[in-house]
Amino acid sequence: QSALTQPASVSGSPGQSITISCTGTSRDVGGYNYVSWYQQHPGKAPKLMIYDVSNRPSGVSNRFSGSKSGDTASLTISGLQAEDEADYYCSSFTTSTTWVFGGGTKLTVL
């Protein structure tokens, strides 16, 4: 199974908004509303930020939002803060009844 495609890195200044894309196919991202996003700080376990495309778990800041158009899902972080600097991974369910992850995006807060 092929990994979902994410940009290797994105950056933004405090207070700005950034968007991370996650591109798959009709067999995964485009076919199901089962896309999630994870934040991972160095040495820590991934933390769920968005599930089922656009839902935020309890406790996650409303600065984080998710959306999907066709085969591409997106994570937007508004009002960028220093603590948002981390690696971000997307994940999607697939037609093979499996789950696939993206290659990861390193977010740098300038």
Partner 1 sequence: QLQLQESGPGLVKPSESLSLTCTVSGGSISTSAYYWAWIRQPPGKRPEWVGSIFYSGSTYYNPTLNSRVTMSIDTSKNQFSLKLNSVTAADTAMYYCAKTTGSNFYWGQGTLVTVSS
Sites of contact with partner 1 (CB under 8 A): 1, 3, 34-36, 38, 45-46, 48, 51-53, 55, 57, 89, 91-93, 96-104
Radius of gyration of the chain (CA): 13
Which CB atom, from 19 or from 101, has the smaller least distance to partner 1? Answer: 101
CA distance 101 to 79: 26
State the nearest-atom distance from the C-beta of 88 to partner 1, in Å.
Answer: 11
State the nearest-atom distance from the C-beta of 51 to partner 1, in Å.
Answer: 4
State the nearest-atom distance from the C-beta of 77 to partner 1, in Å.
Answer: 19
State the nearest-atom distance from the C-beta of 13 to partner 1, in Å.
Answer: 27
Contact at 8 Å (CB) between 18 and 10? yes
Which CB atom, from 15 or from 70, has the smaller least distance to partner 1? Answer: 70
DSSP-assigned letter for residue 100: E
CA distances from 101 to 69, 85, 98 (A): 18, 20, 10
CA distance 66 to 89: 13
Which CB atom, from 80 or from 105, has the smaller least distance to partner 1? Answer: 105
